[in-house]
Amino acid sequence: MNPHTGRRVALVTGGRRGIGLAVAEGLAADGYDVAITGTRDDDVARAAVAKLRSHGVAGTYVAGDVAAVEDHGRVLDAVEAALGGIDVFVSNAGIAPPQRLDILETTPENFDIVLGVNLRGAFFLAQAVAKRMIAHGRTEQSRALIFVSSCSAEMVSINRVEYCVSKAALAMAVEGFAARLAADGIGVFEIRPGIIRTDMTAGVSSKYDALIEGGLVPAKRWGEGADIAAAVRALARPEMVFSTGTVVNVDGGLTIDRL
């Protein structure tokens, strides 16, 4: 809670643009003071903060690499100094493999880079946030950890299996955090986006345009950042805490088994 404004505080990793910025803006629209992180402190980051503040709330940006576990304390200290204790943590930052390689050709370097951000970094940052939430004591309103994962936690892509592995392992981490933190009044949730229009999917947009048109996604459209933001905003509500451990598919029906 921000002691100066009385508003709840949210931290969204990877919030400079794309899904992260859409989520951060959604929370700002709901009256949260919002901190976002990213690896670069640039005009894009400053423009993102301006968008958050346009909703009449406090917004701040802290540069930091999620993969740098040793730097997590500094990042969280900066967020707390600017806004106060974190009520809602959205673990959104993630990367695709530097090279999309067949499972028989991928390299240890490719594997380590992806899991360093998507799994190891995400896990230990969430751990650090959870410890601070507990240290601050229970509040009248519950807190939440929300992980933006992927349909790739259950759907394999043989030319980027390291990404799928990172998301599948993160799903188990979510269950672990949910079980551990339930008694502390901290809800833990996983959101699994499907095919979402982002910078990450821009290079394969024509491929997915055709697949979506052909029926791959029952909703027959791309997902947008606003779709993910809507799920985060719902799960961030204090009333959702008893649903801890819930997985929400935001994929237009992509992962529904069909004949």
- Measured on CA atoms in the order 232, 233, 234, 238, is the torsion positive or negative? positive
Question: Is 32 among the residues known to form the active site?
Answer: no
Residue 30: both structure tokens together: 């709901």
- Cα–Cα dist 138/124, whole Å: 21
Those residues with Cβ within 8 angstroms of residue 47's Cβ, 6 or more apart along the chain or in another chain? none
- Cα–Cα dist 101/130, whole Å: 35
SS3 content of the chain, % helix, strand, coil (to 5): 45, 15, 40
Among 32, 61, 163, 208, which one carries the catalytic annotation? Answer: 163
Nearest to 48 by CA among 66, 23, 30: 23
- Catalytic positions are 163
